[in-house]
Amino acid sequence: MGFSANRYAEMEYRRCGKSGIKLPAISLGLWHNFGHVDVPDNYRKILFTAFDNGITHFDLANNYGPPPGSAEENFGRILHTDFRGYRDELIISSKAGYTMWPGPYGDWGSKKYLVSSLDQSLRRMQLNYVDIFYHHRPDPETPLEETMQTLDLLVRQGKALYVGISNYPAQEAARAIAILKQLGTPCLIHQPKYSMFERWVENGLLDLLGDEGVGCIPFSPLAQGLLTDKYLHGIPQDSRAAKPHGFLKEQDVTARRLEQIKALHTLAQRRGQTLAQMALWWLLKDARVTSVLVGASRPEQLQDTLQCLKAERFSEAELAEIERILAE
């Protein structure tokens, strides 16, 4: 299976902060659907569809699966069979910060954990380096200096080209960015949870990233599936909200939320978009947002997602209507 010669023709690439790196406006996250519990032929086709359409950035973490580590293993195997010879066209990122192995050294933000975790990730993916390595979440007990010095060390060791942070609130992000700048390894990018329904980043973090020249790549841009057509008629039995152990709880899907989803869906239809396409395009309207991380359970879903890039700009009236719906 070969790749399209026109794979770069229609994708938009945005500069990541003040760096030399450009990222595709849509990046593929491997949080779900790439573990050992998933179907190899399906996730292989998703990766092919992504690259064929100009998605050059694949985002992983040490604990993605399930089981933890299996998404990196599966990605690494496909990278070395189907993507052989294309490594220099790809941006591959990984992270460490959540529980990965038992004991006191398998979690959070110590030098011991971060160095060991990246070494394990590189072995799983059969790589010499990742393009971006993130600290996945702030550690309240490890000095921030230790965590940032470790990110700097990993770049100097050649195991990562760039570093980033994820889930850091504005105040801690400002400190982390300042420390990295002083060390000589600038923070390339921040990966926060951001969607129409989760807007904490607008309370200072986006301004900080814009001022400091740090990229922003939101995850969960569709609010775990709420910002799709799936919930227009309540909670489907096969949805994430119906599952007892997911991140999206049934109690999150309130009557008020369902009314907002329906109203946003109606607006999206008027724009000639699906609700999901409009929700992604709404994030990308901000120049400080470098790229948006999407997941995909099948290749056709990813193809549909990419149509968001063909939309017309929002009018002031449409943006005002969105704000009114979200404020209700």
Average pLDDT over all residues of the chain: 95
Asked if the model's pLDDT at residue 211 lies above 70, the reply is yes
Give mean pLDDT, residues 211-228: 96
* pLDDT at residue number 66: 97
CA-nearest of 239, 197, 195 to 218 is 195
Give the contacts of 5 (CB within 8 A, at least 6 positions apart). none
Whose tokens are 């030098």? That residue is 111
Give mean pLDDT, residues 235-242: 60
* pLDDT at residue number 296: 97
- Residue range 18-40, pLDDT digits in tens: 999 999 999 999 999 999 999 99
Cα distance between residue 52 and residue 26, in whole Å: 13
* pLDDT at residue number 222: 97
Q: Which residue has the higher pLDDT, 250 or 74?
A: 74
Q: How is residue 118 written in tokens?
A: 């990246």
* pLDDT at residue number 264: 98
Q: Which residue has the higher pLDDT, 238 or 320?
A: 320
CA-nearest of 15, 13, 11 to 209 is 15
Considering the entire predicted model, what is its pTM? 0.95
46 and 312 in contact (C-beta within 8 Å)?
A: no
- Residue range 43-52, pLDDT digits in tens: 999 999 999 9
* pLDDT at residue number 328: 84
* CA within 13 Å, CB half, 127: 33
Cα distance between residue 273 and residue 229, in whole Å: 11
- Residue range 262-304, pLDDT digits in tens: 999 999 999 999 999 999 999 999 999 999 999 999 999 999 9
Cα distance between residue 160 and residue 117, in whole Å: 13
Domain architecture of the chain: domains with CATH: 13-225+279-312 (3.20.20.100)
For 51-118, the DSSP string reads: HHTT--EEE--TT-TTTTTHHHHHHHHHHHHTTTT-GGG-EEEEEE-S--SSSTTSSTT-HHHHHHHH
Tell me the pLDDT band of 232, cut-offs 50, 70 and 90: confident
Give mean pLDDT, residues 146-169: 98
- Residue range 123-132, pLDDT digits in tens: 999 999 999 9
